[in-house]
A and B are shown apart, each in its own frame.
Chain A
Amino acid sequence: MSTILGIPPQALFGQLLLGLINGSFYALLSLGLAVIFGMLNVVNMAHGALYMVGAFVAWLLLTYLGINYWIALILSPIVVGAIGLVLERTMLRRLYKVDHLYGLLLTFGLALIFEGAFRHFYGVSGQPYPIPEMLRGGQNLGFMFLPNYRGWVVVASLVVCFGTWYAIERTRLGAYLRAATENPTLVQAFGINVPVMVSMTYAFGVALAGFAGVLAAPIYQVSPLMGSNLIIVVFAVVVIGGMGSILGAIVTGLSLGLLEGLTKVFYPEASNIVVFVIMAVVLMIKPAGLFGRER
C-alpha cells in the first residue's frame, strides 16, 4: 500500500475530515468571540462557560421537559442569549469606557461562577445526551466511518458561520453595526439606538456559543468542565486569525482543526499544544494576526 509521509492515505483523509469537524467547533466559538470583540471590544472569557451552559440547557430541556434535540437547538441559544443580555445590561455595560482588562477579568470571574455552580449541582462526570434518532449511524466512506451526526455538525456550523459573516459584512444592519463601533456618536445621530444594538450583538455572540454547546452535547459528556477545556484553544484561534476579524475566525478555526488533526497522526502527544506553537509563530511574524488590521 502506498503511503503519504509514512501514513496510509485512508488514515490521512480520515484524520483530515475529523480535523474539519473539530475545526467547525472552533470556528463557531471563535466567531462569537470575534463578533463580541470586534463590536464591543470585550474579551469575553465567559464564552466557554456559556457554551457549557448551552449544552446543559439542552440536557435540562430533554431530561425534565422531554424537549427534543431539534427544538433545543433553537431554544437553548435563545436562553443563552437572554443570559448574555442580562449580563451585558447589568455588568458589562459599565466597563466599556475602561481598559479591556476589566472586561476580561469580569467575564473570567463569571465563567468561574457558572462552572462552579454547575459543578456543585451536577458533579464533574457529566451527563449523557443521546444522538437524535434521525442522525444515528454513519456512512462508510471507504477511508473511514463517518458518523452521520458529525457530518451534520460540519454542515450546521458552516451554514451558521457564513450566515453570520454575510449578515455583518454584506447587509445594511451589519453596516450599521460596523459603523457604530467606529463612531457610535455619529451613528446615534442618524437615529439608530446604539446601546440596544450593542446589547443585541453581545446576546447574539453568546447565543452562537450556546448553539455550539447544543451541537457538542451528543458528542461529549455534558459536563461543567467542557467549556474551560476548549476556551483557551478558541482564544488562540481568535488571536491567530486577528482579534475581531470575522472571516479570520472562521478560516483559522477550520484550518487549525485540520492542523490539529494532522498532529494527532504524526505526534499525538503534542496535539493539544500545536495551536499555541502556531500562535507564537504567527504573533512573531504578524502581530495583528493573519486577518487582523493594525490599529
Chain B
Amino acid sequence: MRMLLLAGTALMALASTAATAQVSNNTVKIGVLNDRSGIYADLAGEGSAIAARMAAEEFGNKVAGAPIEIVVADHQNKADIAASKAREWVDAENVDVIADVPNSAAALAVQGITRDKKRIFLMSGPGATALTGAQCSPYGFQWAYDNYAMAAGTGRALMEQGKKSWYFVTADYAFGQSLEEETTKMVKQLGGTVAGSVRHPLGTADFSSFLLQAQASQAQVIGLANAGADATNAVKQAAEFGITQGGQSLAGLLLFITDIHALGLQAAQGLMFTEGFYWDLDDQTREWSKKFEAKAGKKPTMVQAGVYSAVRHYLKAVEAAGGDDPDKVAAKMRELPVQDMFAKNGKVAANGRMFHDMYLVRVKKPNESRGAWDYYEIVKTIPAEQAYLDPAKSGCPLVK
C-alpha cells in the first residue's frame, strides 16, 4: 500500500512537472479579438470575452498545470487593425490562441498571421467559407457557423416551400459576397434562379433604394446577405415598404438573437433563418445561458456560445496533449470529439471546420412568446453532415 502511494505521488509529480515544462512561458494566453464598439459589438464584443472566461473557469483557470490568462482587444471591424493587434499579441505578448474575430475580412487577415506564426485560431464570429476552404490553416478552426451552412439551411427550406426565384441585397465586403455566392450556388443546385443582386456599403442606414430594386425584381425571395445593424435596418424597412405583404419573402441569411431582440417580435415575426445555437434548446443550454445572462445581462448569441465551446475544446486538447505545442494541440483538437452544451457529438474535420447540428428557426409572433428572449420556434434540426460542406469539396489544401 505504501509502495503504491509512493509510486502514485511520484508519478503525479512527474506528470505535473512534465506538463508545466511543456506550456510555453508557463501560461496559456487566450486573446479574444472582436468588434467591441461597432455594429457587431452586441453579437460578439464583451459577451465573447465572458464566454471565454466561463470556459477557463470550468478548468479552474489552470490547464496542464499552467494558469490561463485571457486578454481582449477591439478590431473595430478593420482588417488592418485586426492584423496589427494579432501580430503584437503573438510577437510581444506571447498569446497562444486568438479567438472569435467576427468580420470575415478581419478574420482572413488574422488567419494568415496565425498560420505563419503557428498559433491556434478559434473562429466563432466570421462566416466566410474561404477560412476553411482555400484559405484554411492547420491551426485555424471555424466553430459556430459558416456561410455555407446559412445558405444550405435557409436556402433549402425556402426552396422546399416552392420559393425558387431569388434576389440579393448584399453587404459589399468579403463576408456579404461570400454569403451571396454560397446561397446562389445552393439555389441553382436545387433548381432555382437568381434574378440579380444589389451591393450596399457596410454600415448603410437607409435601405429603401435597395429594397425598391429588390421589390421591382419580382423575385419570390429577397435574400439579405448582411448582418448586425445592416440586417436589422433592412428587415425593418422591408416591413415599411410592404415587401412581405406584397407576396415576397424576406430571408435573413445571417441573423443573431441580439438582432431579433433589437428588432422586437412585432417587426421580426415570421422570419425564417438558420442558427447554430439557441439558449432554450435543452436543460444544458438553458443552464449555461442562465449563467451567461447573469454576467452579460442578456442571452448568448451563437457566436458567444461558440467562443465558449471552442475555448473549452482547446483547453481539453491542451490537457490531452500535455502542453500547448500548437502542432500537437491542433492534432488533438481534430482527434477529440466536441462534447458540450453547444455541440453534441461535434467533430473537427481536417480543414478545421467543426461539424455540429444546426437549427432552422422561425421567429415567433408576439402573442406566442412567453417572455423575454422567448423568440424562436425550432422548425427542424439540420444534421451536421447536411449543414456543412463536405471538406473534400472545400478546396482546402489540407484535405487529401
Question: Which residues in A have some Cβ–Cβ distance to B below 8 Å?
Answer: 8, 10-11, 14-15, 18-19, 21-22, 119, 123-128, 130-131, 137-138, 144-145, 147, 149-150, 219-221, 223, 225-226, 229-230, 261, 264-265, 268-269, 271-272
Do A128 and B236 have beta carbons less than 8 Å apart? Answer: yes
Known: A18-B208, A147-B240, A223-B229. 7 other contacts (CB 8 A): A14-B212, A15-B209, A124-B229, A125-B42, A144-B212, A219-B237, A261-B209
Give the residue name and chain of the A residue nearest to B298 (CB): A123
Query: Does A119 contact B37, Cβ atoms closer than 8 Å?
Result: yes
Contact across chains for A221 and B41 when beta carbons are under 8 A apart: no
Is the beta-carbon distance between B263 and A271 smaller than 8 angstroms? no
> B22 an interface residue at 8 Å Cβ cutoff?
no
Q: How far is the CA of A225 from the CA of B38 in the complex (A)?
A: 8
B200 at the interface (CB under 8 A from A): yes
Given contacts A18-B212, A221-B262, contact A229 B205 (CB under 8 A): yes
| Min C-beta distance of A189 to chain B, whole Å | 47
A-B contacts counted at CB < 8 A amount to 112
Q: How far, in angstroms, from A126 to B40 measured CA to CA in the complex?
A: 11
Decide if A264 touches B242 in the complex (CB within 8 Å). no
Cβ-defined contact, A126 with B241, below 8 A: no
Question: Is there a chain A Cβ closer than 8 Å to B172's Cβ?
Answer: yes
Q: Using a Cβ–Cβ cut-off of 8 Å, how many residues does chain B contribute to the interface with A?
A: 42
**When the two chains form the complex, which single residue of A124, A145, A226 contacts B242, counting CB atoms closer than 8 Å?**
A145
Question: How far does the Cβ of A24 sit from chain B's closest Cβ, in whole Å?
Answer: 12
Please judge, given known A-B contacts A125-B258, A125-B261, whether A138 and B232 are in contact too, CB under 8 Å.
no
> Considering the complex, which residues of chain B in the window 223-262 have a beta carbon less than 8 Å from any beta carbon of chain A?
228-229, 232-233, 236-237, 240-242, 246, 258-259, 261-262
B210 proximal to A (CB < 8 A): yes
A140 to B232, CA, bound (A): 25
> Cα distance A155–B39 when bound, in Å?
31
Closest chain-B Cβ to A151's Cβ sits at a distance in Å of: 12
| Cβ–Cβ < 8 Å partners of A265 in chain B | 209, 213
Let me know if B9 is at the binding interface, CB within 8 A: no
Which residues of chain B have C-beta atoms less than 8 A from A150's C-beta?
208, 240
Q: A18-B209, A18-B212, A226-B205 are in contact. Are A147 and B229 (CB under 8 A)?
A: no
CB pair B236–A220 under 8 Å, yes or no, is: yes
List, in ascending order, chain B residues with CB within 8 A of A22's CB.
206, 208
Q: A125-B232, A131-B240, A145-B242 are in contact. Are A272 and B204 (CB under 8 A)?
A: yes
Bound Cα distance A21, B240 (Å): 14
Please name all residues of chain A whose beta carbon is closer than 8 Å to the beta carbon of B210 when the two chains form the complex. 264, 268
Query: Does A225 lie within 8 Å of B246, measured CB to CB?
Result: no
Given contacts A125-B232, A221-B232, contact A11 B216 (CB under 8 A): yes
Q: How far is the CB of B100 from chain A (nearest CB, A)?
A: 16
Nearest opposing residue in chain A for B237, CB measure: A219
Contact call A123/B42, Cβ cutoff below 8 A: yes
A261 and B206 alpha carbons, distance in the complex (Å) = 11
Contact partner of B263 among A123, A128, A137, A144, CB < 8 A? A128
A15 contact set on B, CB distance < 8 A: 209, 212
Contacts of B236 in A (CB 8 A): 128, 219-221
Chain B residues with CB under 8 Å of A269's CB are 172, 199-201
**Least distance between A256 CB and chain B CB atoms (Å):** 13
Question: Are the C-beta atoms of B242 and A138 separated by less than 8 Å?
Answer: yes
Contact with A along B146-188 (1 / 0, CB 8 A): 0000000000000000000000000010000000000000000
Partner of B201, one of A14, A220, A271: A271
Q: Which of the listed residues A22, A130, A269, A271 has the most CB atoms from chain B within 10 Å of its own CB?
A: A271
A230–B40 alpha-carbon span in the complex (Å): 19
B209 contacts A124, C-beta separation under 8 Å: no
| Closest Cβ neighbor of A270 among chain B residues | B201
Within 8 Å CB of A10, what residues of B? 216
A225 neighbours in B (Cβ, 8 Å): 38-39, 203, 229
Name B228's contact: one of A14, A125, A147, A272 (CB within 8 Å): A125
| 8 pairs, A vs B, C-beta closer than 8 Å | A14-B212, A123-B258, A123-B262, A124-B42, A221-B232, A221-B262, A268-B210, A272-B204
Shortest distance between the CB of B86 and any CB in chain A (Å): 23
Query: Roughly how many angstroms separate A33 CA and B264 CA in the complex, as a whole number?
Result: 33
**What are the residues of chain B within 8 A of A145 when measuring CB–CB?**
215, 241-242, 246
- Contacting residues, chain A, for B232 (C-beta < 8 A): 125-126, 221
Assess whether B263 is in contact with A147, with CB atoms less than 8 Å apart. Answer: no
Which B residues are in CB contact (< 8 Å) with A149? Answer: 240
Residues in B with CB closer than 8 Å to A223 are 229
Neighbouring A residues of B213 by C-beta, 8 Å? 11, 264-265
Choose among A19, A123, A147, A269 the residue with the greatest number of B CB atoms under 10 Å from its CB. Answer: A123
Chain A CB within 8 A of B354 CB: no
The residue on A at minimum CB distance from B264 is A128
